[in-house]
Structure 1
Amino acid sequence: MQNVQSRSQLLPLLRSPLLGELLAWIYLHPEESASVTELARRFGVSQSTVSREADRLTEAGLIRAERRGNLRLLRADLTGPLARPLTELLALTYGPSAVLADLLPAIPGVQESYIYGSWAARYGGEPGPPPHDVDVLVVGDADEDDLDEAARHAESRLGREVNIHRVSVASWRSADDPFLTSVRSRPIYAIVEPGDPQF
């Protein structure tokens, strides 16, 4: 479950990490509408929490909401003067979670994947300077060329270096590798977890 009260360390202008993730998902998928239900499930919070944030963002003119039956659909309002700079700012801060969630689940052989390093530390609430790159751990037997292509695509959307490190399931489960032990001991952000549906 998201901690919706803690102050964002990735973008300290924001009240909470949830607000950053919501905005990043909506603005980095400008051609799509996302339902409150879908966003609540994606970010592990209640629908009422997402609805409250959506009310504030709609009032501020940052997103548009529409009703379709019982669904409340949200999408970025790209007509305002803040749309382009806000999209760029969100790509640099919360963008990795939104962009990698599009790319990695679709690659065959990705059983788990996590962002680690400075981005995950900031997301987890550790203060510090903005991350210069994004470090990603992929567990499974995904093809290295597919992972490299995903990294290059993510870099083009995020405007920063993306480093993907692949390990086997056995290595990830083992306690013998000092690097993986270090990764597990620090904050990580799950992109694909065991049991997630593969696309």
Structure 2
Amino acid sequence: MYLNPGEEYSITEVANRIGASVKSVHQEVTRLVASGLLADRKVGTSRLVRAVEDSPLTRPLTDLLAVTYGPLPVLTRALRGIDGIEQAFIYGSWAARYNGEPGTVPADVDVLVIGDVDPDELDDRAREAEAVLRREVNIRRLRPATWKRQEDPFVVTVRSRPLVALHLIPEGSAA
């Protein structure tokens, strides 16, 4: 919920997404509502819950979850091991928020892959990441020569804004 503030979820929806029983989720939601971390409301027989957005804990919790479960680790796992990737970055509004620029929670994640990579494989990996992140993932591929060209308008724009590198070398490998 903290990765998607402003969105509401039913208890059943939360249980299904995290693979827990409805009873367990109901108990935990009750505790989190009592502690002020979640807000709830009834709509018919459903109990809808959402993150409390005006708490002093909201930003730190969102940041922690973004680092541990957000686009950075999800996309790193999704792209790791694909042949031909030389570098990969998250750019755009998500990278700006990650680097502390204020603004609304991004609706999508923009990813730049530098290398000679099969675009169909990148599309497949983007769809997999979207299923986990529950937001659109746009992967743009550039050939290494294009990334090196300082006069390319797209490259100039992307390089002038925050970038978050995806470290795709498996842990324990020599780089």
TM-score by length of 1: 0.53
In the alignment, what sits opposite 1:58? none
Residue from 117, 131, 136 that aligns with 2:92: 117
Q: In the alignment, does 2:142 pair up with 1:167?
A: yes
Whole-Å separation in 2 of the counterparts to 1:174 and 1:17: 36
SS of 2:166's equivalent in the other structure is: strand
Contact 1:111–1:193 (Cα < 8 Å) also in 2? no
Contact 2:110–2:139 (Cα < 8 Å) also in 1? yes
In the alignment, what sits opposite 1:72? none
What does 1:12-27 align with in structure 2 at a 5 Å threshold? 13-15=58-60, 19-21=64-66, 23-24=68-69
What does 1:36-185 align with in structure 2 at a 5 Å threshold? 95-185=70-160
- Tell me by how many angstroms 1:177 deviates: 0.6
- Tell me by how many angstroms 1:20 deviates: 3.5
Change (3 A) 1:173 1:152: same
Contact 1:136–1:163 (Cα < 8 Å) also in 2? yes
Whole-Å separation in 2 of the counterparts to 1:96 and 1:172: 22
1:155-174: CA deviation from partner (whole Å, max 9, x where unpaired): 11111110000001111111
The structure 1 segments of at least 4 consecutive aligned residues displaced by more than 6 Å after TM superposition are: none
**Structure 1: gaps (5+ residues):** 1-11, 25-94
SS of 1:176's equivalent in the other structure is: coil
Whole-Å separation in 2 of the counterparts to 1:99 and 1:121: 18
Whole-Å separation in 2 of the counterparts to 1:158 and 1:105: 17
Contact 1:104–1:192 (Cα < 8 Å) also in 2? no
Whole-Å separation in 2 of the counterparts to 1:118 and 1:124: 10
- Tell me by how many angstroms 1:176 deviates: 1.6
TM-score by length of 2: 0.60
Change (3 A) 1:123 1:136: same
SS of 1:126's equivalent in the other structure is: coil
Change (3 A) 1:21 1:131: closer
SS of 2:141's equivalent in the other structure is: strand
The percentage of aligned residue pairs carrying the same residue is 48
**Structure 2: gaps (5+ residues):** 1-56
Contact 2:107–2:135 (Cα < 8 Å) also in 1? yes
Q: Which amino acid aligns with 2:65?
A: G
In the alignment, what sits opposite 1:67? none
